[in-house]
Amino acid sequence: MTDSSRRFCLTALVAAAAMAAGTAFAQPAGHYPDKPIRLIVSSAAGGGADTVARLMAKKIGDALKQPVVVENRPGASGVVAANAVLGAPADGYTLLLGFTTMAQVPATTQIPLSYNPEKDFIPVSLIAKSWNVLFVNRKTNAKTVPELVAAMKANPRQFSYGSYGNGSTGHFMGALFAQQTKTEPSHVPYKGAAPMMTDLLAGVVSFAFPDIGSALPHIKSDRVQALAVTSGKRLSSLPDVPTMAELGIKGFDFGGWFGLFAPKGTPQAIVDVLSAQSMAAVKDREVQAKLVSMDLDPVGSNSKDFATFFHADMAKWAKIAKDANIKAE
C-alpha cells in the first residue's frame, strides 16, 4: 500500500469514527424513550404528591408511547426518593416528582445532606402551586388579621400556632407571620395534620397555616375563621378572604408546589422533551380539572422558568429558617 493510500484509509477511518461518535451522542434524544420511565415520588400512595405524579405519568406516557411507572419512596422528608434518583443513570429514565420539602429540608436539616438540590438536579417543569390559609379557632374571637394581631400584642402569652411539625410549611409561615407582625406566639408542632386540626378546633392552639385543601372543609363547616391566604391574588375557593399582601403583610406570596426533576447530567435534548411533554400535559383540560379539584393552581412551566423559580424558592425558605432559627426534628 502506498503512502497516499494509507493516508486516504486513515482519513476515511477517522471520518467514520467521528460520524459514529456523533450518532452515538445524538441517539439518546432521537430515540428517547425506547423503554419505560420511572417516576419516583417521595410520598406514600394516595397522597397529594402521588396523585399529581400518577396524573402526569399517564399523560406523559401516552404522549411518548412508553409507560411512565410511578414508584413511591417515602421517608426522611424526601431524602430517600432523591437519593434513589441520583443513584440511577442520568439518562432520562429515572425522574423525580419533587415538591416543597426539596427546598425546605436543606434550610432546616441538622444533618448534612448527601446531595445539593440546586446542583444535583435539573428542574424540568413546575407542574402546580398550592397555597395556605391563616385560620383561627372561634375562641380567639378574631375575625380579621388586625384583630388577631392586636389580641396577641395585648396578651402575648395566650396565643400559639400549630403546625405539622418542626420545619414544616406551617412552621415557616407561623414564624414569618410573627416576625412581620412583631408578635410572639408560641409554636406547637404536631405529628401530622389530624392531631393539629383536632387541637385547633378544640381551642388548644389559636391559629395555623394549613394548605387550602386541608382547610376548606373546616372553613365551610364554619368551625374556624379564615383570615387571609398566602397567594398573590384572592382564591376562587375563598373569594371573600383577603391576601396577606392586601393586609400590608409582606413576604407571603408563596406556598407549596409540585415539580418534575431529572438528575444532573441528563442530556439537554432529553430534558427539553420531558419539559415540553410536561407543559402539554398540564395544558390538558382533564389534567387541569383534576389539579383544580385538588385546590392546586396549574402552572406547566418550561425548564428555564422552573429553575429560576426553584433557586428563588430555595433562598426564600433558607432566609426564613435562618431569621427564625427553624430546625427540623
What total of structural domains would you count in the chain? Answer: 2
Pair 118, 141 in one domain: no
Alpha-carbon Rg for the chain, nearest whole angstrom, is 24
- Residue 11: the pLDDT is 41
Mean pLDDT, range 7-16, rounded to an integer: 40
The structure's pTM equals: 0.87
Average pLDDT, the chain: 90
Pair 291, 278 in one domain: yes
Element spanning 256, H or E: strand 256-263
Sole residue written with cell 397522597: 47
Pair 137, 225 in one domain: yes
Is the confidence at residue 6, as pLDDT, over 80?
Answer: no
Element spanning 137, H or E: strand 133-137
- Residue 29: the pLDDT is 55
Is the confidence at residue 123, as pLDDT, over 60?
Answer: yes
Per-residue pLDDT tens over the stretch 87-122: 999 999 999 999 999 999 999 988 889 999 999 999
The grid cell for 159 is 396565643
Expressed as residue numbers, the domain containing 203 is 133-229
Sole residue written with cell 412583631: 182
- Residue 163: the pLDDT is 96
Pair 70, 212 in one domain: no
Per-residue pLDDT tens over the stretch 129-170: 999 999 999 999 999 999 999 999 999 889 999 999 999 999
Per-residue pLDDT tens over the stretch 224-266: 999 999 999 999 999 999 999 999 998 888 899 999 999 999 9
Q: How far apart are CA 140 and CA 181, in angstroms?
A: 17
- Is there a domain that residue 40 lies in? yes
- Is there a domain that residue 10 lies in? no
Pair 164, 223 in one domain: yes
